Amino acid sequence: MQDSATDGNPGLLARLIAPLSPDEFFARYYEKAWYCTPAPVGEFADLLTIDRIDEILSDSELPPGAISMAQAGRSLPAEEYLHTGGAVDRGAVIDNFRNGATIVLPQLHFADGKLYAFCLGLERDFGARIQTNIYLTPTNASGFGIHYDDHDVLVLQMAGAKKWEIYGQRDGLPFRGEKFSSERDDPGPLQAEFVLKPGQCLYVPRGLCHRAANEGDEPSLHITIGILVQTWAEFVLEAVAEASLRIPQMRESLPRSLFLDESAHAANAAIFHRLMDQVRQLASFDATRAAMGGNFVLGQGPRVRGALTTLAGGLAEEDVLRVRPDTLYAIDPAGEEPQLRIAETAVALAPDLAPQLQALLARGQFAMVDFAVEDRADLRDTVETLVAYGLLERG
């Protein structure tokens, strides 16, 4: 399988962390230490505004889970800003904000085209899924106490200012779901404090304790960009699962003696070590990479803005289509059943179409007249499917 992606927004990470280069960032800071840009980056100023938050709160559909609130280091009970049936009480949200509560909009990139395109642009840089959480904090307030996150974050300050406090790093990077506990985790002494101003970007690795509070007499709006990495532990577990398909004994039940009969300890340990030796011999790096890579591609949600109007208006064979920027896809043109994977679906490809499509996708744009296939109806159906799922857009 060949994994491919467009490169429509190169240098997004580089522009976020300038003057630091991505090579320096990954060598010196990534998963190791915090980094704050010395100067604002003006080109992201219109990515999100307080006026846009106001519009979302007043005019958008807000299902349960689309909003939460926090104040003075604790999450507000849902009943303080939700109606009994679970609908958002918009007036209560704004009233709580007036009284010092932070408005949190998790996963807003799924409802905002600019944020979604921004996330897609960073997925190529990190080789990981990217998400956003939005925090709007009133003056003289803080949302959360000292804590660490279980995923790395980039923080982009959009309006107002936040005073950040940096504490210690826990031993070992946390796994997903390993949350900070004030009873268990010692944040250590204060190591740095600074004010993040509009346009500045801050990187905080997972496991690094920190706290932020509003600074000055303006509300603070920032975007927390979550980097949802996959770990080597997950890769190895997938490799074991993949190898198990070729080791029949791995599908047998655990022996009844495993937990109840100490006299069988040595025999059971021998079975375990024998199976691990077989896994070591049969595990395939390439097969595991292909499986996890395919899932990574399929997990990227479709970006389909414009697809409906394109298809409703009709496509002529001469119409130029281009690969949508930063959309991931994986294509296997040579298998028994050629297919292209994209956005939670797999599109079957005719054998004579698959290699031509692979080459033209790599070129970045094409028209249906560029294909030399006999079944033009199948070609049209395939191309229109790729428009529908957001891989292609009108050029």
Q: Where are the domains of the chain?
A: 2-228, 232-294, 299-394
Q: What whole-number distance in Å separates Cα of residue 372 and Cα of residue 68?
A: 54
Is a pLDDT exceeding 70 seen at residue 121?
A: yes
Residue 42 pLDDT? 79
70-76-78-81 Cα dihedral, nearest 10 degrees: -70
Share of the chain above pLDDT 70, in %: 97
Residue 61 pLDDT? 85
For 356-381, what is each residue's pLDDT tens digit?
A: 999 999 999 999 999 999 999 999 99
For 251-271, what is each residue's pLDDT tens digit?
A: 999 999 999 999 999 999 999
Q: Which among 72, 97, 92 has a CA at the least distance from the CA of 82? A: 92
Residue 394 pLDDT? 93
Which CATH number applies to 2-228? 2.60.120.650
Assigned token pair, 69? 């609130």
pTM for the full predicted model: 0.85
Lowest mean pLDDT among 84-88, 254-258, 330-334: 330-334
Residue 254 pLDDT? 96
Query: How many beta carbons lie within 10 A of that of residue 255, not counting itself?
Result: 13
Q: Which among 91, 98, 114, 101 has a CA at the least distance from the CA of 68? A: 101
